[in-house]
């Protein structure tokens, strides 16, 4: 009986190596397939963005912070031509990223050429921890190409108040 088990084990032993090699080969194929799917997903995302927001009508609004000692941002509401297009409530991680120099895309959309009004409402805590809500408005002329606008929250050291500016990127 012992010898039969030993003979059987010796007969099966080489097959175990074949199965292990096939398993490793299949794992490598799965990894390669996963990478191809991720690459395809990225390409489809870029194509979708190009189709939905063509360069000639593309309009994007970004937000940045400069220091932020006089204003603790809670949320931003963005209106374009009187219509609310974006509202964002910030987490601690997002605020830290903005304070380290990050820039957030608030909205990406399509606008026809011509004059448009951008209005942003900044809601948070102002000096001495008081509730604070301020707005900034600017008329923007959209040409044939894409247009980029930056909303920036800056500290005004002369009066210890936050300042809010709207700047067009060239």
Phi, psi at 9, each rounded to 5°: -65, -40
The reported pLDDT for the residue numbered 167 is 86
If asked whether residues 64 and 139 sit together in one domain, one would say yes
CB 148 within 8 A of CB 99: no
If asked whether residues 87 and 108 sit together in one domain, one would say yes
Report the CATH number at residue 164: 2.60.40
**Domain final residue pick, 52, 76, 93:** 52
The reported pLDDT for the residue numbered 10 is 58
Q: Nearest to residue 169, comparing CAs of 61, 70, 85?
A: 61
The reported pLDDT for the residue numbered 4 is 65
Count of domains observed in the chain: 2
If asked whether residues 137 and 86 sit together in one domain, one would say yes
If asked whether residues 45 and 117 sit together in one domain, one would say no
If asked whether residues 13 and 94 sit together in one domain, one would say no
If asked whether residues 97 and 154 sit together in one domain, one would say yes
If asked whether residues 97 and 161 sit together in one domain, one would say yes
Query: Measured between alpha carbons, how far is 124 from 121 in angstroms, rounded to an integer?
Result: 10
pTM (2 decimals)? Answer: 0.67
**Domain final residue pick, 52, 78, 94:** 52
If asked whether residues 7 and 48 sit together in one domain, one would say yes
Q: What is the pLDDT along the chain (170 residues), one digit of tens a residue?
A: 556 665 555 566 565 565 666 777 888 888 998 899 889 888 887 777 767 666 678 899 999 988 667 888 999 999 999 999 999 999 999 999 998 999 999 999 989 889 999 999 999 988 777 888 988 899 999 988 899 999 998 888 777 778 888 888 86
Q: Which 8-state DSSP code applies to residue 128?
A: G
Which domain, by its residues, includes 23?
1-52
If asked whether residues 120 and 163 sit together in one domain, one would say yes
Query: Measured between alpha carbons, how far is 17 from 159 in angstroms, rounded to an integer?
Result: 77
The reported pLDDT for the residue numbered 14 is 62
If asked whether residues 17 and 99 sit together in one domain, one would say no
If asked whether residues 10 and 71 sit together in one domain, one would say no
């Amino acid at each position: 009986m012992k010898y039969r088990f030993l003979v059987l084990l010796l007969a099966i032993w080489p097959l175990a190596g074949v199965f292990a090699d096939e398993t490793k080969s299949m794992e490598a194929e799965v990894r390669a397939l996963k990478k191809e799917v991720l690459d395809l997903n990225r390409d489809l995302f870029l194509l979708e963005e190009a189709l939905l927001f063509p360069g000639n009508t593309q309009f994007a609004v970004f937000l940045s912070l400069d220091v932020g000692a006089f204003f603790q941002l809670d949320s931003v509401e963005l209106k374009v031509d009187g219509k609310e297009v974006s509202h964002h409530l910030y987490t601690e991680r997002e605020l830290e990223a903005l304070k380290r120099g990050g820039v957030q895309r608030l909205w990406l959309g399509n606008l026809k050429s011509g004059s448009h009004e951008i209005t942003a409402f900044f809601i948070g805590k102002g000096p001495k921890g008081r509730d604070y809500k301020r707005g900034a408005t600017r008329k923007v002329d959209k040409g044939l190409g894409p247009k980029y606008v930056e909303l920036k929250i800056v500290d005004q050291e002369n009066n210890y108040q936050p300042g809010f500016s709207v700047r067009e990127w060239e």
